[in-house]
Structures are given as C-alpha cells and as structure tokens.
C-alpha cells in the first residue's frame, strides 16, 4: 500500500461517510474503515483513509483511547496530515469528547496548535464570531438544545471548547477569514504568539471553507465537520501529491441484488411503497419475531427462488401508527433490536445465497448489517443521491453496498441505485 495523504478519525459512522463523500467529490480515492482497524488490515491504494469510530458519546477516556489507536494505524499508513471529524453541530458535553480527543491527538502528533470548525454552509451550519448557527437560529435555540445525549445549550464554541480543555482557546474572526488565506495565516500566527493552542474558525460560505483549508495546509492536525475538509484536496494537488482529474471507480461486483429496509423514516416509507409496485417484496412483522417465529428463515425461504439481477425488497418499514403499536407492545429498544438482528441474519443468509449488491435503508440497521457481515472497511464511490455513495467492501466476498440514512434519497432511490454502481 502506498502512503496515504490524509488520515482521519471520525467520531461516528454516518459522519465518516459524509467526510468520505466530500473527499471523493474532490478527487481523492477514499477508504472508510469500520472501527479501529487491526494492525495487519490490507487496504487498496488510497489518498485518504477515514477510521469511523462510534466514540461521540462514550466517556472521554474511552473516546481518547480509541482515537489514539486509530491515529496510530493512520500514522503507520503514512498519512501526511490528520483530520478529526465531528458533527456540524459540535455534539459534545463539558466533559468532552471534542476537546480531550483533539488534545490527545495533538500531543501524540507533537503539534502545539490546531483549529476547530464545524461549519457546513450547505446544511446551514455557519460560525460567526465563534457562535454556531443552525439555520437562522443560534445552536442553543435549535433542536440540539434538547438532544438526549449531547444537549447544546451554549452557542459559543470558544466557551464550549474552553470547558473541555485546559489549553487556551482563541478565535479567527470572520473579518480575517473573508480576507483570504494570507490574513487567516496572520491571525493564526497572532493567536499562537498570545499562547493560544486551539483556534475556533469563523466560516459562513463554502468560499470561506476553501480559504481556511488553504491557510491550514501546513497544520499537522485539523479538526472539524466535513465542510472544513473541502479545501484540503487542493493543497495536496498544489504540492503535486494528488493526481488531477483522477477517476474514482469501484471494483466490479456481480451477483444477485437486494434491498433491506429497516428504517421507518418518511423518505424510506415512500421508497418502499414505490418499489413494491414493480418488485417482489416481503414484509417483516416485529411481533412475529417476538413470538419466537423464525422470521429470518421464512424471509430467506421466500427470497431464495426470487434472487437474480432484479432486486428483491425485504422491509420492516411501517407507518408511524404501526411502529407506535409495536413499540407499545414490545418496548422501543427491544423492538428495534429484534428487527435489527433479524435483518442482519437475513443479510448474512442472502450473501451466502449469492447476493453481492445490497442497498440498506436505516442508520442503525446499516450498522447491524455491516457488523454481521464482518465488513472491516469500504472503498467509497460516487454518490447515488446527496449523502449516499455506493461503496465496495474490502473483505471477500466483495459486496457492493449502499448504506442509506433513513431520510435520504429520492422516491425511486432503491431501483435507480443499481443502475448507478461504479
């Protein structure tokens, strides 16, 4: 494996995919690894590797240990620059994990300065004077105020970060950012002279993010949402390290096709309804699973004679009142786990019957399925719809996987996806 350019640690799975898509769009060949990789994991040649952790809500010492283990792997893979990816709403508490992880990564890399920028203008996350806005309201007035795990009640990132670290936190204000890379570098140099070791960066537009990316070309460690990474590929290109116009093609995958839907989000409901009209479909009943019926076995027996190039659909997707009734009977968590386990068992059964191309709907559902399939990493391809790329598993048998967060994709996503692989 050739040395990689950018090594990233992401604090959750869908956030890692978001970053991966950003880098692929900018022409970087990108691999996403699921969890801390084993030391001898072989990955195909890539410009960027992202280790997707599930560390956002863990106790800080655990998040730090996982992040350092991931960093260690990325350093051995030869990364020239490192990126710590977190959510564009800066999801964290006073105990962490953004500050403690950034401190630990800085120390491990021997660097005394890093930057923080969760801005993602496309999704209306902007930072002005260090205050994070979600749409047209402050973070603390958005729904993030009531987040069950990381309620964000203070919109000032300088203060939020200040409570998570003992290091001095400064701000690169918009007045400097809008003047471009030279002014940003000067503002950073001033902050360093004042003893700041962390700087929150203002950004309102994509142009700001490109300017910030250029200004941060020489930092060993950068932290942010996926937006802050937009300007980094151009730095590698300027240094002659990244080939221009590189076409990113996934390896060819042939085999039967299937869609597994475990999401009950509105977009997925519409996608299931549309696909049912033209394709074979099987509905999973959570109550039958709870009653002890072999629902996975029944679904696989139904699916086996129908497998082929035309995708089949297996779904647990239900309307809100249907889901509420099931949850009342079985409990929300228990119902979720039963359905996830069943869909994971079905996915394994389908793969053993020759399915190699699989679309999965649902974030948690996707997590359960890739872990049951023993997938350690994914090569990231082009997007099917915003936020949902085709991927190819690193492990054999090679699988083409499209892992869709519940509310993503157009109504015909399930069928159009298969025509877009590559």
Q: Smallest gap, in angstroms, from Cβ of residue 283 to ligand ADP?
A: 9
DSSP 38: P
Q: Alpha carbon of 131 to those of 136, 142, 173, 347: distances in Å? A: 12, 13, 10, 44
Could you list the residues that contact ligand ADP (CB under 6 A)? Answer: 262-265, 268, 286, 316, 318, 323, 326-327, 335-336, 339-340, 362-365, 405-406
Smaller CB separation from ligand ADP, 14 or 190: 14
Torsion 42-46-49-52 (CA) sign: negative
CA distance 323 to 317: 8
DSSP 310: S
Smaller CB separation from ligand ADP, 311 or 406: 406
Smaller CB separation from ligand ADP, 114 or 271: 271
Name the residue whose CB lies closest to ligand ADP.
406
Measured from the Cβ of residue 324, the count of other Cβ atoms closer than 10 Å reads: 12
Looking from the CA of 312 toward its CB, the CA atoms found within 13 Å total 23
Smaller CB separation from ligand ADP, 234 or 325: 325
Smaller CB separation from ligand ADP, 255 or 363: 363
Q: Smallest gap, in angstroms, from Cβ of residue 216 to ligand ADP?
A: 33
Q: Smallest gap, in angstroms, from Cβ of residue 336 to ligand ADP?
A: 3
Q: Smallest gap, in angstroms, from Cβ of residue 382 to ligand ADP?
A: 21
93 token code pair: 């508490």
Q: Smallest gap, in angstroms, from Cβ of residue 291 to ligand ADP?
A: 14
Q: Smallest gap, in angstroms, from Cβ of residue 237 to ligand ADP?
A: 35
Burial of residue 309 (number of CB atoms within 10 Å: 0-12, 13-18, 19+): exposed
Smaller CB separation from ligand ADP, 13 or 116: 13
Burial of residue 238 (number of CB atoms within 10 Å: 0-12, 13-18, 19+): exposed
CA distance 72 to 371: 23
């Amino acid at each position: 494996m050739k040395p990689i350019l950018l090594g990233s640690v992401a604090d959750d799975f869908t956030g890692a995919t978001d970053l991966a898509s950003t880098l692929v769009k900018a022409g970087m060949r990108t691999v996403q690894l699921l969890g801390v990789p084993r030391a001898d994991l072989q990955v195909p040649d890539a410009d960027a590797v992202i280790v997707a952790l599930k560390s956002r809500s863990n106790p800080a010492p655990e998040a730090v240990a996982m992040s350092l283990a991931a960093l260690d792997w990325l350093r051995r893979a030869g990364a020239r620059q490192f990126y710590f990816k977190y959510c564009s709403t800066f999801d964290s508490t006073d105990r962490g994990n953004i500050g403690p992880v950034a401190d630990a990564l800085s120390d491990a890399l021997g660097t005394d300065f890093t930057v923080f920028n969760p801005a993602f203008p496309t999704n209306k996350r902007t930072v002005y004077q260090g205050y994070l806005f979600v749409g047209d309201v402050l973070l603390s007035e958005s729904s993030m105020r009531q987040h069950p795990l990381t309620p964000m009640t203070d919109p000032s990132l300088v203060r939020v970060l200040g409570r998570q670290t003992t290091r001095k936190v400064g701000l690169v204000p918009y007045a400097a950012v809008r003047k471009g890379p030279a002014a940003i570098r000067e503002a950073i140099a001033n902050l360093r002279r004042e003893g700041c070791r962390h700087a929150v960066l203002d950004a309102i537009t994509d142009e700001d993010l490109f300017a910030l990316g250029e200004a941060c070309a020489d930092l060993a460690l950068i932290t942010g949402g996926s937006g802050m990474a937009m300007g980094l590929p151009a730095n590698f290109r300027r240094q002659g390290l990244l080939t221009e116009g590189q076409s990113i093609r996934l390896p060819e995958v042939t085999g039967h096709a299937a869609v597994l839907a475990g999401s009950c989000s509105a977009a997925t409901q519409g996608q299931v309804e549309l696909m049912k009209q033209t394709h074979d479909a099987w509905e999973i009943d959570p109550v039958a699973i709870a009653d002890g019926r072999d629902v996975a076995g029944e679904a696989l027996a139904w699916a086996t004679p129908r497998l082929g190039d035309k995708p089949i659909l297996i779904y647990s997707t239900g309307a809100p009142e249907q889901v509420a009734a099931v949850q009342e009977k079985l409990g929300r968590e228990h119902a979720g786990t039963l359905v996830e386990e069943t869909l994971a068992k079905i996915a394994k059964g389908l793969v053993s019957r020759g399915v190699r191309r699989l679309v999965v709907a649902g974030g948690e559902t996707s997590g359960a399925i890739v872990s049951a399939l023993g997938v350690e990493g994914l090569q990231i391809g082009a997007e099917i719809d915003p936020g949902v790329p085709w991927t190819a598993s690193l492990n054999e048998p090679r699988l083409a996987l499209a892992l869709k967060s519940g509310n993503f994709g157009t109504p015909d996503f399930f069928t159009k996806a298969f025509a877009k692989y590559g």
